[in-house]
């Protein structure tokens, strides 16, 4: 029997506690943070070295068994969901920081290192790693690479792909590739971005060289209250139009403000229809200058109140509400479903209005808290899984939001990935030719389709079915999506 043979093969070079096969041992791996989808893997292995991973891959390749890699399991799109007949490779034990080079401003780390641990280790050199997903205490850099994670500060500092230099990657055959380099450019095809955000479909990353940045001398945060969310959306556009790229620019709507203020007491004005948080970081003089400009633009854009943090404590307090938005949602609703779509900034007000209409249509509340500067929405759909049909309604509502984002010229993910959650919407986002090319690229890396099968790129068959399903709702394909 294949399962027994595999367990035996893995135990030949891994300690017994690193090869899990009993149901109770597999349970912790059955889902990532998108907990609505659950699946036990056949076997879980916990290698500690690149050589061990290579051997695992060679065995799985020889046996033609699917392989799913897993970081900390904090993903929100089901990218790390196990395969029922597959091996789940946890990278948790590859958790060493191998080297910090303060001259090159880089760190070489293993995939299981936590995001925040890199900045903590680099602090002694006055350096840090910029991308800061909300889960940065827990999530690992390997998972960040797989999902191309962002964070509050990615408006100014970019996503994971903009902050890594080099990867060591194992192919499904167990061969090692070195991708990227220390120089700005490298010859041959640029595979660094292709691998980043590829959701474990092309290879398993065993080592990452990340860029480190000098810690900014200072940071200040402007908090602006608006009596109309459209004015707040316009204010975002006005700041960018003035040539300012804030370190972060976050927006919260009324329902979010109430939820977090009752919870955290960050000092948000509960009469506001929207709050905009706008951060500047850098040298003292530069920040002072930029903050003055931001204050003037927000006031001219119709903010009813503009407060600026007077010290680090106050800056942290202003941020505290925003950072507590997800747990605050958990306080006012039994369940919530976090979406992740991105739209051109200019359509912000219009898309928020459409979400509002859908909220009425589905009879579900929706908190809007998002990275306004880069147009990355995170609508939190509030529902109660114990009410029959509400989960389905929440999922439908979420899918409609993604379709609105696509119709607005945006994309169906800002930083959470496609995983299993957004497969259908990939049919809308890309043409047949584009999806066929994706499959051809996947084949170039993994001809037998063993790495994380069924994720990220839908089959042509699935898209045909999804199209047919949509036709039933109207007279032609996707007619319900208003085009801008």
Residues 64-103 that bind its own copies (CB under 8 A): 102-103
Provide, rounded to whole angstroms, the least separation between the CB of residue 193 and its own copies. Answer: 4
Could you tell me if 345 and 389 are in contact, meaning their C-beta atoms sit under 8 angstroms apart? no
Using CB under 8 A as the binding rule, whether residue 156 contacts its own copies is answered as: no
Nearer to its own copies, 137 or 242 (CB): 242
Q: How far is the CB of 332 from its own copies (least distance, A)?
A: 29
Closest separation in Å from C-beta 350 to its own copies = 15
- 305 binds its own copies per the rule CB under 8 A: no
If binding is defined by CB under 8 A, does position 345 make contact with its own copies?
yes
Query: How many other CB atoms are found less than 10 A from the CB of residue 409?
Result: 14
Q: Which two tokens stand for residue 410?
A: 């945006």
Helix (H, G, I), strand (E, B) or coil at 137: coil
Which of residues 41 and 417 has its CB atom nearest to its own copies in the complex?
Answer: 417
398 binds its own copies (CB under 8 A): no
User: Is position 483 an interface residue for its own copies (rule: CB under 8 A)?
Assistant: no
Should residue 104 be labelled a site residue for its own copies when binding is judged by CB under 8 A?
Answer: yes
User: Crossing angle, helix 325-332 and helix 312-323, to 10 degrees?
Assistant: 40
Least Å distance, CB 262 to its own copies, is 32
Q: Which of 118, 167, 192, 338 binds its own copies (CB under 8 A)?
A: 192
Of positions 44, 154, 251, 260, contacts its own copies by CB under 8 A: 154
Q: Would you call 185 helix, strand, or coil by DSSP? A: coil
Identified binder of its own copies from the candidate list 99, 123, 182, 312, rule CB under 8 A: 182
What does the per-residue mask of binding to its own copies show for 443-462, with x meaning CB under 8 A?
xxx----------xx-----
What is the CB neighbour count within 10 angstroms for residue 98?
A: 12
Look-up: residue for tokens 């992740």?
A: 340
Least distance from its own copies to the Cβ atom of residue 149, Å: 9
120 binds its own copies (CB under 8 A): no
Question: Is 124 among the residues that bind its own copies (CB under 8 A)?
Answer: no
Binders in 267-296 for its own copies, by CB under 8 A: 282-283, 285-286, 289
Ramachandran assignment for 109, one of left (phi > 0), alpha (psi -120 to 50 degrees), beta (any other): beta
Residues whose CB is less than 8 angstroms from the CB of residue 376 and which lie 6 or more positions away in sequence, other chains included: 150, 340, 341, 342, 370, 414, 415
Looking at beta carbons only, is 207 or 261 nearer to its own copies? Answer: 207
- b/e for 168-177, b at 16 or more Cβ within 10 A? bbbbbebeee
Contact 165, 211 (CB under 8 A): yes
Contacts of 13-21 spanning 24+ positions with Cβ under 8 A: 13/52, 13/55, 14/45, 14/46, 14/47, 14/52, 17/46, 18/45, 18/46, 18/47, 18/48, 18/93, 19/43, 19/44, 19/45, 19/46, 20/44, 20/45, 20/46
**Tokens at residue 450, please?**
């063993």
Q: Does 219 bind its own copies (CB under 8 A)?
A: no
Q: Minimum CB separation from its own copies for residue 154, in Å?
A: 6
CB nearer to its own copies: pick between 360 and 444? 444
Q: In the window 226-255, what residues touch its own copies (CB under 8 A)?
A: 237, 240-241, 243
Q: Is residue 349 a contact residue for its own copies (CB under 8 A)? A: no
């Amino acid at each position: 029997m294949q399962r027994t043979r595999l367990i035996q093969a893995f135990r030949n070079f891994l300690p017994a506690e690193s090869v899990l096969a009993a149901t109770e041992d597999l349970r912790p791996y059955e889902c990532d943070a998108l907990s609505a989808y659950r699946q036990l893997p056949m076997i879980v292995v916990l290698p500690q070295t690149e050589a061990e991973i290579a051997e695992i891959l060679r065995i799985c390749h020889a046996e033609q068994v699917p392989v799913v890699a897993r970081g900390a399991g904090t993903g929100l799109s089901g990218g790390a969901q196990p395969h029922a007949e597959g091996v789940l490779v946890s990278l948790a034990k590859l958790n060493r920081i191998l080297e910090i080079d303060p001259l090159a401003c880089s760190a070489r780390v293993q995939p299981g290192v936590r995001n925040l641990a890199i900045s903590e280790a680099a602090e002694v050199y006055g350096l840090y790693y910029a991308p800061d997903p909300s889960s940065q205490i827990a999530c690992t850099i390997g998972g960040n690479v797989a999902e191309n994670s962002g964070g509050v500060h990615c408006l100014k500092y970019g996503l994971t792909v903009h902050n890594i230099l080099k990867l060591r990657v194992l192919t499904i055959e167990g061969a090692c590739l070195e991708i990227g380099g220390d120089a700005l450019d490298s010859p041959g095809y640029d595979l660094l971005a292709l691998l980043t955000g590829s959701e474990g479909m092309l290879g398993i990353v065993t080592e990452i060289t990340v860029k480190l940045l000098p810690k900014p001398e200072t940071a200040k945060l402007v908090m602006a209250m608006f009596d109309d969310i459209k004015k707040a959306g316009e204010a975002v556009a006005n700041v960018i139009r003035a040539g300012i790229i804030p370190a972060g620019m976050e927006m919260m709507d009324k329902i979010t403000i109430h939820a977090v203020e009752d919870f955290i007491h960050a000092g948000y004005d509960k009469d506001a229809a929207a709050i905009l948080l706008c951060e500047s970081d850098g040298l003292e003089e530069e920040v002072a200058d930029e903050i003055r400009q931001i204050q003037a633009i927000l006031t001219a854009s119709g903010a009813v109140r503009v407060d600026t943090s007077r010290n680090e404590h106050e800056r942290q307090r202003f941020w505290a509400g925003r950072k507590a938005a997800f747990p605050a949602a958990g306080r006012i609703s039994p369940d919530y479903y976090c979406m992740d779509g991105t739209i051109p900034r200019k359509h912000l007000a219009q898309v928020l209005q459409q979400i509002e209409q859908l909220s009425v249509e589905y009879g579900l509340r929706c908190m809007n808290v998002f990275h306004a500067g880069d147009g990355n929405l995170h609508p939190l759909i509030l529902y109660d899984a114990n009410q029959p049909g509400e989960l389905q309604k929440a999922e439908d509502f979420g899918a409609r939001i993604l379709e609105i984002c696509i119709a607005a010229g945006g994309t169906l993910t800002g930083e959470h990935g496609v995983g299993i959650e957004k497969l259908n919407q990939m049919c809308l986002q890309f043409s047949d030719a584009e999806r066929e090319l994706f499959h051809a690229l996947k084949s170039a890396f993994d001809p037998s389709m063993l790495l994380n099968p069924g994720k990220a790129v839908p089959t042509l068959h699935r898209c045909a079915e999804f199209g047919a399903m949509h036709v039933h709702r109207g007279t032609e394909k996707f007619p319900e999506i208003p085009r801008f």
